[in-house]
Amino acid sequence: MVIKILGAGCKNCEKLYNLTNEVVNELGIEAEIKKVTEFKDILSYGIMKTPGLVIDEKVVVSGRVPSKNEIKDFIQKYL
């Protein structure tokens, strides 16, 4: 599983990255978590507001930081 955090490195982007890492560790799954910070790369996913959460190349949320439980639900859908 590849999980991407889309954003330029703002506070919310970092929060989403940290929450996602926590969830992955709690679930005990193998996942590569990448930060996507280049504007043109972020736009290629069709989102206009960051942060964005992408799981296996599918945008699951953008423009807000989901709760830890929401992130867990998103990840479990793709397992």
* Beta-bridge partners for 34: 4
- Rounded mean pLDDT of 33-61? 96
> What range defines the domain where residue 15 resides?
2-77
- Residues involved in catalysis: 10, 13
pLDDT of residue 65: 98
- Rounded mean pLDDT of 26-42? 97
SS3 22: helix
Closest C-alpha among 77, 75, 63 to residue 2: 75
Domain at 10, CATH number: 3.40.30.10
The number of domains in the chain is: 1
- Rounded mean pLDDT of 26-51? 96
Please provide the average confidence, as pLDDT, over all residues in the chain: 97
